[in-house]
């Protein structure tokens, strides 16, 4: 039996966000800092053991495990990513399926040391348990909370679902509720941290003014803030994970980003949540549909109130 490695690092940088919140481009940008190693989506915090993670991924349709994890192992263990090294990486992971996810993350952090490892799987934020697992493993870690306006985030998620799951007719709760629940998970977690261990940034502002916000993030982390470091972060396309991967592990980041990873300088027009809610018919899910007329109205008003309050708390209108 292969031995379990000893811990080599006591911290990493964890990006927390819902899906469709610019996490791929932003994490890859930050990961290009000379003192940071930006991993793709590893999904390691969704289980206590690698076997548990692989089982969950298999049931989700990723039969060979998380694409980002296979790509990262191919890169750091075998030096590059090809169909052959990805296949070897999958075998490498299978041989170590008895490892805890903490042991595997320790091993990967040791491989990229002395750089600060960065993990960015949106699935981490879906359940509070996943976030707590990351903190339990690495209580000295930095947590970067990246946000996106709920209206544009919802539109992006609907576009993704149409492209990736066009035949899925499963009754879904509106993605606006998912946006709310995930940000609520993150905020409830970060409020328990001491000052300076977490930082919240609006994704739209970072992408509109990258020099300003990348400097702030590097300063927060206590890393280099010189012009060369900031310039490096403005080239996410230089990451080994910023393109479609080999067969068996093509993903690991958002497909749209992988097709065009260069930083696009642009300004964002902020929509109005109130106007959107007044014009759009929202399906609040099966629980709402089971209520009577007056109860349904009260439930809807409460949901709108909660979502609006959180939107304002994140700095949006």
Measured in whole angstroms, how far is the alpha carbon of residue 156 from the centre of its chain? 15
Would you say 285 and 103 are in contact if contact means Cβ atoms under 8 Å apart? no
Residue 133, domain member (yes or no): yes
Record the pTM: 0.92
- Give the pLDDT confidence of 269-289 residue by residue, as tens digits: 999 999 998 887 776 665 444
Question: Residue 124: which of 205, 59, 68 has the closest Cα?
Answer: 68
Do residues 13 and 38 make contact, with C-beta atoms less than 8 angstroms apart? no
- What is the C-alpha separation between 268 and 212, in angstroms, rounded? 16
Asked if residues 70 and 248 have their Cβ atoms less than 8 Å apart, the reply is yes
**Has residue 270 been placed in a domain?**
no
CATH number at residue 234: 3.40.50.300
* 36 vs 44: CA distance, rounded Å: 19
Tally of domains within the chain: 1
- Any domain includes 59: yes
Average pLDDT on 254-276 reads 93
In 3D space, the residue among 92, 173, 85, 87 whose CA is nearest the CA of residue 126 turns out to be 173
For the record, the structure tokens of 42 come out as: 């590893």
Tokens of 163: 């492209």
Residue 10 · residue 140 · CB < 8 Å: yes
Residue 276 belongs to a domain? no
DSSP state of 126: G
275-295 burial, b at 16+ Cβ within 10 Å, e below that, comes to ebbeeeebebeeebeeeeeee
Query: Nearest-CA neighbor of 105 among 81, 141, 79, 129?
Result: 141
Q: Is the pLDDT of residue 171 over 60?
A: no
- In a domain, residue 71? The reply is yes
Tell me the C-alpha distance between 88 and 68, whole Å. Answer: 14
Structure tokens at 314: 């994140």
Residue 239 has pLDDT above 80, yes or no: yes
Give domain status of residue 290, yes or no: no
pLDDT > 70? residue 89:
yes
Query: Is the model's pLDDT at 1 over the cut of 50?
Result: no
- The answer as to whether 312 is a domain residue is no
Measured in residues, the chain has a length of: 317
Average pLDDT over residues 128-145: 98
pLDDT of residue 9: 73
Token pair in block for residue 246: 């080999």
What pLDDT is stored for residue 175 in this prediction? Answer: 86
The answer to whether position 182 is within a domain reads: yes
Partnered with residue 198 across adjacent β-strands are 143
Per-residue pLDDT, 15 = 99
C-alpha–C-alpha distance, residues 148 and 128, integer Å: 19
Nearest Cα neighbor of 147 from 23, 271, 285 is 23
183-187 own/partner pairs: CB under 8 Å, 24+ apart? 183/18, 183/147, 183/310, 183/314, 184/310, 185/125, 185/126, 185/127, 185/128, 185/131, 186/16, 186/17, 186/125, 186/131, 186/145, 187/145, 187/310, 187/313
The domain of 164 spans: 13-264
- DSSP classification of residue 271: P
């Amino acid at each position: 039996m292969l031995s379990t490695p000893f811990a080599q690092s006591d911290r990493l940088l964890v990006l927390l966000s819902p899906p469709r919140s610019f996490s791929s481009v932003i994490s890859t940008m930050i990961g290009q800092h000379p003192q940071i190693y930006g991993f793709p989506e590893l999904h390691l915090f969704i289980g206590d053991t690698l076997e548990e993670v692989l089982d969950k991924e298999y049931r989700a349709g990723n039969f060979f495990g998380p694409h980002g994890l296979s790509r990262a192992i191919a890169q750091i263990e075998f030096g590059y990513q090809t169909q052959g090294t990805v296949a070897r990486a999958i075998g490498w992971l299978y041989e170590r399926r008895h490892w805890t996810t903490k042991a595997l993350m320790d091993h990967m952090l040791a491989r990229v040391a002395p750089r600060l490892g960065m993990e960015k799987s949106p699935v981490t934020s879906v359940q509070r348990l996943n976030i707590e697992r990351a903190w339990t493993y690495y209580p000295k870690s930095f947590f970067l909370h990246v946000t996106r306006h709920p209206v544009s985030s919802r539109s992006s998620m609907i576009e993704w679902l149409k492209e990736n799951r066009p035949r899925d007719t499963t009754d879904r709760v509106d993605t606006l509720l998912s946006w709310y629940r995930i940000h609520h998970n993150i905020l409830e977690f970060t409020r328990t941290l001491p000052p300076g261990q977490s930082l919240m940034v609006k994704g739209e502002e970072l992408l509109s003014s990258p020099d300003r916000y990348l400097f702030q993030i590097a300063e927060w982390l206590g890393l280099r803030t010189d012009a060369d470091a900031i310039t490096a972060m403005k080239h996410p396309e230089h990451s080994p994970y910023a393109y479609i991967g080999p067969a068996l592990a093509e993903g690991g980041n958002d497909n749209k980003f992988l097709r065009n990873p260069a930083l696009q300088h642009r300004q964002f027009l902020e929509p109005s949540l109130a106007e959107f809610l007044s014009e759009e018919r929202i399906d609040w899910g099966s629980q709402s549909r089971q209520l009577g007329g007056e109860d349904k109205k009260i439930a809807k008003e409460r949901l709108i109130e909660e979502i609006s309050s959180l939107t304002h708390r994140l700095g949006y209108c």
